[in-house]
Amino acid sequence: MPQCKLDGCKEEAVPGGKRFCPVHKARYLQRRNEAIARDAALPACSTRGCAGKVHWFLDELLCDDCFDRRQEEARSALKLKLLYEATTVDDLREWISKYVIAN
């Protein structure tokens, strides 16, 4: 029978599962259940409904992925707005040097 996988534990592991002895398996299950309950209590993303760390963005709760995507969309929209507002050749040169060459 294999031993418990935690360092220093000489007890036999419970068959099947994660190779913990009964004491460590009970502790593992308790911690896992606490983590699941803690994650369920977190606010959810308003776009995809995933729970976890969320950010406020324009009166919406967004997860990290949706938040990054929205920020990138906002940056792209700003670039296009500034491009359309460029009316002279000097404005276009400035826009190109700032957004095309710098990146």
> How many structural domains are present in the chain?
1
Residue 50 lies in a domain: no
Report if residue 25 sits inside a domain. no
Question: Does some domain include residue 55?
Answer: no
List C-alpha distances in Å: 44 to 1, 67, 100.
43, 13, 37
Q: Please name the residues in contact with 97: beta carbons below 8 A apart, sequence gap of 6 or more.
A: none
What pLDDT, on a 0 to 100 scale, did the predictor assign at position 8? 82
The answer to the question of residue 12 being in a domain is no
Q: Does residue 20 fall inside a structural domain?
A: no
Domain range for 84 is 63-101
Q: Can you list the residues of the chain whose pLDDT is less than 70? A: 1, 51-52, 103
| Domain assignment of residue 74, yes or no | yes
Question: In this structure, are residues 14 and 21 in contact, taking their beta carbons and an 8 Å threshold?
Answer: yes
Residue 45: inside a domain: no
**Using CA atoms, how far apart are residues 20 and 1, in angstroms rounded to an integer?**
12
Instruction: Determine the Cα–Cα distance for residues 39 and 87; give it in Å rounded to an integer.
Output: 51
10 belongs to a structural domain: no
Cβ neighbours of residue 45 closer than 8 Å, sequence gap 6 or more: 51, 52, 54, 61, 62, 63, 66
Condensed to tens digits (0 to 9), the pLDDT of residues 27-49 reads 989 999 998 888 777 777 777 77
